[in-house]
Amino acid sequence: GSGLPIASIDTKKKEKIALFKNAGKEWALEARPVLDHDFPSDARGVAIPYGIYLPAPNVGTVFVGTSHDTPEFAVDCLATWWRLDGRNRFPVAGQLLILADGGGSNGFRCRAWKYFLQHCLCDPHRLSVTVAHYPSGASKWNPIEHRLFSEISKNWAGIPLESYETVLNYICTTTTKTGLRVQSTLIDKEYETGVKITDKQMASLAIKYCPTLPAWNYTIRPH
């Protein structure tokens, strides 16, 4: 009600781009032939769907990466979303609340996640970002899981994800009776894995840990 943006974020399961069987059923006059084994070497690539879901307006944005699910990729998705959609939707917002899982590319132990948040989102956009992580095992309470990702899975159940166009198309045609709307974008940048953030770089962050469960709750302010 305060008009402040709340974004629920997460990476959905990676999908191989190929004529592989996809669990589920689709209505069709005849069965669609698919490869009988899911060999990674038969895949044209990998799709890494990274989602940003806004519970109040019930809208989602899914960026489909093609290389690796890294903290830099996660923050790039957030910064791109803010630039293209978030700041127009919330023109007066100086802060953003993010609900995230405890692990993965946006995990609470991940130094690079905090480092890239500072340098790619907070500083360029003059935005204070508060992150609230769910404890491990509690990610099913993250709204994105049951209000966006599960709906996308239902939409493409039984459909072989044979191209990036197919993936993007099924994501952005996902709707629900309660009015969910989704947009999808391909990010074909190469991301390096194993980026190390030094103690000195960590010390330079404008980060404040909350008194309650500080490891899981913190705010990063623009420099």
What does the pLDDT look like over 80-132, one tens digit per residue? 999 999 999 999 999 999 999 999 999 999 999 999 999 999 999 999 999 99
pLDDT at 21 over 70: no
CA distance 128 to 93: 9
Say what the pLDDT of residue 1 is. Answer: 45
What is the tens place of the pLDDT at every residue in 25-50?
555 455 555 455 555 555 689 999 99
Beta strands 6-11; 45-54: pairing state: antiparallel
pTM of the model: 0.89
